[in-house]
Amino acid sequence: MLRGCATAIISPFHDNGELDEEGLKDMVEFQEREGVDAIVPCGTTGESATLTHREHLRVIQIVMDTKKRVKVIAGAGSNATHEAIHLTKGARDLGVDAVLSISPYYNKPTQKGILRHYEAIAKAVDIPLIVYNVPGRTGSNIAPLTVKKMSEIPNIVGIKEASGNMDQIMQILAEVPPDFDVLSGDDSLTMPLMSLGAKGCISVASNVAPRWVTEMTHRALSNDYVGARELHFKLLPLFKNLFLETNPIPVKTAMRMMHRPSGVFRLPLCDMEAANAEILRKTLADLKLL
């Protein structure tokens, strides 16, 4: 489903908090010019938790209408299975290539409940589905055995792994079939995981430096690990400092510094602390991104 770099794209807003549709189109065009392989609207980085269902589907529609060549993997998860099915059907009807479905947050389901959640979505909507494991956001972890069971469901095609647990991710890589795609959900782990068999990443940093992140993944896919490693270390300060505060606060702040569409945050997210913003500004300046 994905080889290389997919950008978990931000949702730009106007000063009044409304969706900046022209800014979103500009973002999609910028990402395509810079060579990314896919765009992921309505993920965590896109402030999906603050979008209404109408806005959620509108963001996906704008991305679909604007893109020319990239794949679109739309965020369509929820902590309520029926709501996840509703959003997944909406994304399918808009023509996306796949959906990214976060594991149920807040509920803290058991492994059995997580598996049944994804089974229900996969049965209800015939579309490639990528599972999203991010325990720091959801309060629960998807265990490797559960991932292996999900890999046996025909239209569950991969997982975005953002647990940060290398032992766990290596176990998943060792046990799932070769055609089940494991994608890095942590920019700082993308290159190490690709050396172990991950197919690429769903990236926050590629909002800011799409060409470099894409090149890093493509070098790794070509077994040029020396070149991939050089880019990894070059970008490591950016990978780190884009998480000085809760995502997407730093990345939207960085986009604002670069005079690219960004805009305000929707509460409860708020502006970055001045000291952290200065660290981020220096990082961008050192990479000559300003």
Q: pLDDT tens digits for 105-116?
A: 999 999 999 999
Is 80 exceeded by the pLDDT of residue 93?
Answer: yes
Residue 160 annotated as catalytic: yes
Confidence (pLDDT) at 217: 98
Rounded-to-integer distance, Cα 95 and Cα 107, Å:
30
Summarize the confidence of residues 241-246 as an average pLDDT: 97
> Which residues does 290 contact at the CB level (< 8 Å), separation at least 6?
257, 258, 281, 284
**Residue 257 resides in a domain:** no
In a domain, 232, yes or no: no
Q: Please write the tens of the pLDDT for every residue from 192-228.
A: 999 999 999 999 999 999 999 999 999 999 999 999 9
Choosing from 71, 118, 132, 252, the catalytic residue is 132
Give me the DSSP letters along 35-94.
T-SEEE-SSTTTTGGG--HHHHHHHHHHHHHH-SSSEEEEE---SSHHHHHHHHHHHHHT
pTM of the model: 0.94
Judge whether 273 lies within some domain.
no
pLDDT digits (tens, 9 = 90+) for 12-62: 999 999 999 999 999 999 999 999 999 999 999 999 999 999 999 999 999
CATH number of the domain to which 11 belongs: 3.20.20.70
The mean predicted confidence, pLDDT, of the chain is 96
- Is residue 275 a part of any domain in this protein? no
Any catalytic annotation for residue 106? no
- Tell me the residue type at 274: A
252-287 pLDDT, tens per residue? 999 999 999 999 999 999 999 999 999 999 999 999
Residue 131 CB partners (closer than 8 Å, separation 6+): 101, 103, 118, 142, 147, 150, 156, 158, 159, 160
Dist. CA 179–CA 87, nearest whole Å: 26
Whether residue 259 lies inside any domain: the answer is no
What is the Rg, in whole angstroms, of the alpha carbon atoms belonging to the chain? 18
In a domain, 255, yes or no: no
Please give the pLDDT value at position 1: 67
Catalytic residue among 67, 71, 118, 160: 160
Q: Is residue 229 part of a domain?
A: no
Task: Give the model confidence (pLDDT) of 125-150 as tens digits.
Answer: 999 999 999 999 999 999 999 999 99
Instruction: Give the model's pLDDT for residue 2.
Output: 85
Number of domains in the chain: 1
Q: Taking CA 108 as the corner, what is the angle to CA 142 and CA 183, rounded to the nearest 5 degrees?
A: 25
Domain that holds residue 129: 4-224
Question: Does residue 230 fall inside a structural domain?
Answer: no
Residues 112 and 217: their CA atoms lie apart, in Å, by 34
